Each structure stands twice: as structure tokens, then as C-alpha cells.
Structure 1
């Protein structure tokens, strides 16, 4: 069963990687939209993605993971097929809005199905492996997109989106084979309980705040490289490849031990401090030549990447310990919204900070240090407190 969840997550990531790698150029070259309309289409898709996650999770708790995933993939495939043949702004807007509505709801269902019967230690490892596979899948999805961009014709962009739709149909077929037993909500917990769980919401907020480092690496560092350094332009691609390779190679290993709440909090702190150190490295490029700038950017990318993995491991481990039995879909959907909100508020903050030169990077250093230290104040779940009390009593 797990292999089928991994296969679904991988195929899903490849399909999304195809779209994300060429979406802007698709709207420009194939749909022929002006820049303002492209921004509006992408903005609406981002907003609908925030709106869809929790209702989808609640529906999955009622109707089952298998049923909802199958339906969602069928609708997503239809949305991508519609998008591939869109020739007007309205058609592209509607198809993108539907695709966006589903985008933040599917991943939590794959995750919750994968770990439905797993203990915390097994769940942490499973989610880490899934993330590694998804990163590899996103990278693989960029390959056909790169071919389409090289061809530069509308039909090539449309073919890539149609291929994404086919992959989502394959995902729907695989999801039909899932076993829904144990994947639906159990009684006794209100649907709104996740919104009243302050400790869990604090972890979610920290997840969003700390994963800002991924956006700083993906957006801020490339802008800095091309605008403010003497490093070669291909450094941007090197940074992306390095980040993907590290996540694929090390995420599972770094996640080990995060099922312990104390260790999870320390991982969050470590991730924040590593990100802060990386931010301080970046402005040092002002004092070097091309080779020195390249070395400093690579060093910063390494620190950001390792910090990101510690953040993911720590926040995921802490979040899993706070999830009540039978509520994984809703809680994981809420947890994933932490990063979703960051993708909305992060880009304008990051682009503005690049314009502040070294002071902007110093500000990010202070920010990640503060958030990393705040992570140590996250309250432990009741079972962790009980375990600590039991251990103290036994020692006495």
C-alpha cells in the first residue's frame, strides 16, 4: 500500500513540476496574455489554493481518502486539459482557479493516507521519504518543460500540460486501489478542533515562518546573484540543483529522531540558526571577485538547504505529535497552509529586502535567529508531558 502512495506522490510531483517550470511562459507564448493578466491568473490560483485545503480535508474525513483523491485527480486532470487548450483570458483564469483550488488539498491527503496506521517514528520517516521523492519528481518534471521552452512553439507548451493531465489520470487510477479503512475521521472530535488547537497552530505558524528560508533561497539568492555579484549567471541553476540533490539525499537521515518532541524543537531551532548564518554569508559577496562570490553563494545555499531540512524535520515531527487520532487529513491540511501563506506574503518581502543591500540580509539573519529561538517555546503535547512525568517519577 505504501508503495502506491509513494508512486502517486511522485507522479503528482512530476506533473506539477512540468506546470510550474513553464506556467508563466505558457500564458505568454501559448495563451498570449499580457503581463498584467498573467499576474492576475497566477494570483487568483494562489488565492483559491488557500481556500480549498480545509474543505477538501474535511470531505476526506467524511467520505474517505480514496474517494476524495480519485475525484480530485479527475477534476485536476480536466482542469489541466482545459488549460492546455485555453486561448482566452477568461478560459485560462477559470481553469487555473479550479487547478489552484485543488493544489493545497491533494498533498495532505496523500500524506495522511501514507501514515494513517503508522506510529510517530514511522510516520516521520515515511513523510521524509515522500518529500525526497517529490523533490526528485519536481526536478524530473522540469525536463520536458525545458524541451518545450527550447522549441518555443505554442503546441509544445500545450503538449506538456496535456501530459501533466495524463499523469493526473494515472494518479486517479492508482488512488482507486487504495484501502479507505482507517482513513476516515473517528468520532468525538469537532471539525473545528484544529482551529482551536493553539499549540498546533503555533507549530503551523512556525513552519510557515521558518520555511521562508526556502523562498529566500529560491527567490532572494538568484536576484542577488544576477544583480549584485560577479558570480556567473549559471550559479542560479547550480543553487537549484544543489538544493534538490541535498533534499533527496539527506532529508530522511536528518529526520531521524524528530518523533521525540524535545529533539523536534531543537531541530527547528537549528534550522533557524543555520538559515540565519546563511543569510549573513550572502552580503559578503560585496568584498570578493567572481570566484569568491561563487564560493560564498554555494556556501550560503548549503546552509539554507540543510537548515530547511532541519526545519521540515522538526516542524513535521512536532506537528505529528499534536495530531489527535483520526484527524490527520484536517490537521495536515492546516499544517501545509503554513507554507502556503508564506508563498503569498514572502515574495514581496524578499524582493524588497534585496533592494536594501547588506542590511536586508542582516534583517533576515535576525529574523531567522528570533524565530528559531521562539521554536523552543512551543508547548509539548499532552502525551509527551505525561511521558516526562512518568520518567521523572521512575527516576525518583
Structure 2
């Protein structure tokens, strides 16, 4: 059900991506420069929002917070169909992007609680795979609808998107109540406050993962510019290169998750990630200095290598970020972890295009060195340090509160946000320009 919810979410994302810029700039006549500035400011809100909202989730309950954010996003996207002034657009965009960025780590907590240790990485991999299909479907459907060139069609897209969030919220509640329990955090531990930014090992892992995530900006931003400026490849081949990345991601997610079911397996994946990314950088460097058809072969090989590294890193990151997160502060920790990837989306394009691309072939040497250094940091910090387990937090089993069929806590069970005695912890997503 959570995978189905991700499909609905990404389908709505595709609808909104296709409609938003055309509507706000073309129909409402907002200045393009002001829209771009709003998106930049909203990106800062999106970077900062996960940590405070993760703290709220640890206190109030992850599922409650996630559902509330989904309902807020539904109301916000419905409001997009009603606004006429730029101020309303700016406020909505900042609020909705902040809510969107906070939802991703909360979904990871929910998946981990519902699916359990053995299935959580597989489920997250499935979610990542279906998002590609849903996004593509949403873009295609929106293209057909918007071809009517009717203002009402744009507003209908926003309203359909708004309803999709309510459907996702219902699906999340259904999945939790159909499972054996609902993830929570011990209230006493939450009040004492485990701060992820005071955990040096976790912060090293977060930063290292953010640097490894530069593959995202490499494929989405740098690759098209590099093809145009540094190679003689026909520009039509760019679509093929991006298609290779998309299709291979869908195929790999169904396979690589099985190697990330333990700490040792995930650490090995991080080493393989570094190797794949470094090989990809090497092939890009070679492609700049060879005839066009050899360049094409090298470029396809580079895209394949980077895509393999991308998928290895994603599943390893999910598993190890969960392992390194104490149960009492899991939402805060995973929210902080997500900030590393969000920061990459903000800084990465400028770093790669403005700072590295002018270096010519040396850009790939520098980027390969960054990937290698980040891998060393991630491998070092990704192994939890053995230590005493907090009282009421045994090594195995997620922190859960049983939820009977009627949705009420069982008699004698602690309230949402408190863990039962014997509860414990288990061993343990590309951004759109507009919020979704």
C-alpha cells in the first residue's frame, strides 16, 4: 500500500511539473525572474524544515505528523487553483516545499516500522522504482490535458493533485493499521532530546552521503551541459543517455536491495559505489578526447557506471541511516540525514557547472577524488559503535504500539508517542523544481 501511495504521489508530481510553470508564468503572468527567486527561497525552507518537523514527529507521532503534512499539502495544492496574486503563490510555494522535504524521512520511518527489518530496504527500493513510472505517466497525462489550452484544465490538474495527497494519507493509515504495529518513540527519551547534530559520527555520514549524492546533479544538470559544450555528440543522443539512467534505475532497484540487509553488506555497497562513480568519471574524461563514436560508447558506459553507483549508494544509505538513528529520535535523525541530499540539490549544480566544468578534463579528476573521499568518510562512519543499549531498547525489533482493527490503542498500551516496555529498535528520493 505504501508503494501504491508512492506511485500516486509521483503521478501527481508529474502532473504538477507539466502544468506549474506554464500556468504561473503563462496564464497568471507572474514575472519569470520572481518565480525563479521564489523557488530559490523555497529551497532554503525545504533544506531547513526536516529537522524541526522531525522533532515534532518524535514527540507527536510519526504517522500523525506525516498524515497532517499530507493533508496540508493537499489543501495547499487546491489553493494553487484559487490564487491570483504573486504573494499567495510565494507563500504557498515556500510552505509546500518545506512540507514536501519533511515527508521523505517520515515515510522512511513508517516503511521501516511497517515492513520490518527484512523488508524495509526492499520496500524503499520498490518505492524509488515506481516513482519513475508514476512521474512519467503524470507528465504524459498532463501533456494531453494541457494541450486543450484552457485555464480550467490547469486548475483541474492542481485539484486532482490535491486529492492525491488525501489518497496518500489514507493509504499510509491503512498500511499502518493493517500491519502489526505503528512506529513510535519513548516519550521520556524524546524529552531528554537526542540531537543528531551533536552526534559527530552521524554528521560525518550525513555529509559524506550528501557528497556522494552529487551523482544526481551530475546526471540531471552537468551531463546535458557537458554534452553540448565538451563533446561533438549529436544533441539528440542526450535523450538516450537520460533514458539509460531512468530504465537502469528501475531495473537495479529490484535487485540491489538484497545486498543491503546488513551493516556489512551496506558498507560493501558504499565501497562499490565509490568504484562505480570513479570509473564513470574516468570514462567521461576519456570521452572528451576521442572521436565521436568512441565518445558515444564511453559516455554511455559512464552513464551506466554512475547509475550503478547511484543505486548502490541509495540502498546503502537507507539501511545505514536507519542503523545509526536511535529509536527515540529516529525521525529527527533521518530528517537530518535527508538534509545532506537536499543541500546537494542546492549546491551541486553550481559546484559542478560553475566551479568544475571550466577545469576541462581535470574536472573529472577532482570529482572522482571527491567521490573517493566521501566514500572513505561514509564507510568509516557507517559502522555503528558498539555500546550499551538504552533501557527499554533491546537490540532487535522495532518500537511499536499494537493497533487493533478499530484503530484504537490496545488496553494498557501506551499512548501514541510512548513505547511499551520491551520495545526496541531494529538493526538497520530527484527533487522537482516546484514543491510536490
Q: TM-score, normalised by structure 2?
A: 0.80
CA displacement, residues 332-351 of structure 1 (integer Å, 9 cap, x when unaligned): 22221110111111111122
Q: Which residue of 1 aligns with 2:79?
A: 82
Q: Which residue of 1 aligns with 2:12?
A: 15
Q: Which residue of 1 aligns with 2:165?
A: 168
2:358 to 355, 359, 377: 355
CA displacement, residues 304-331 of structure 1 (integer Å, 9 cap, x when unaligned): 1001111112222222221223443222
Cα root mean square deviation, aligned: 2.6
Quote how far apart the aligned CAs of 1:103 are.
Answer: 0.9
CA distance in 2, matches of 1:104, 1:6: 18
Whether 1:134 aligns to 2:137 is no
Q: Which residue of 2 aligns with 1:393?
A: none
Whether 1:276 aligns to 2:273 is no
Equivalent residues of 2:256, 2:312 under 8 A apart: yes
Quote how far apart the aligned CAs of 1:88 are.
Answer: 2.9
Quote how far apart the aligned CAs of 1:46 are.
Answer: 0.7
Whether 1:232 aligns to 2:234 is yes
| Helix, strand or coil at the partner of 2:182 | coil
Quote how far apart the aligned CAs of 1:208 are.
Answer: 0.7
More helix by share: 1
Q: Which residue of 2 aligns with 1:291?
A: 293
| Helix, strand or coil at the partner of 1:115 | helix
Equivalent residues of 2:323, 2:384 under 8 A apart: yes
CA distance in 2, matches of 1:296, 1:148: 39
Quote how far apart the aligned CAs of 1:211 are.
Answer: 0.7
Equivalent residues of 1:207, 1:312 under 8 A apart: no
Q: Which residue of 1 aligns with 2:425?
A: none
CA displacement, residues 7-65 of structure 1 (integer Å, 9 cap, x when unaligned): 22221222223334554444322332333212111112211112221222222233333
| Helix, strand or coil at the partner of 2:35 | helix
Unmatched tracts of structure 1, length 5 or more? 387-396
CA distance in 1, matches of 2:362, 2:27: 41
Q: TM-score, normalised by structure 1?
A: 0.87
CA distance in 1, matches of 2:316, 2:213: 11
Q: Which residue of 2 aligns with 1:381?
A: 384
Q: Which residue of 2 aligns with 1:317?
A: 319
Q: Which moved more, 1:355-364 or 1:376-385?
A: 376-385
Unmatched tracts of structure 2, length 5 or more? 390-436
The one of the two structures with greater contact order (alpha-carbon pairs below 8 A, sep at least 6) is 2
Whether 1:365 aligns to 2:362 is no
CA distance in 2, matches of 1:307, 1:314: 11
Quote how far apart the aligned CAs of 1:149 are.
Answer: 6.5
Quote how far apart the aligned CAs of 1:230 are.
Answer: 2.3
Quote how far apart the aligned CAs of 1:76 are.
Answer: 0.6
Whether 1:183 aligns to 2:183 is yes
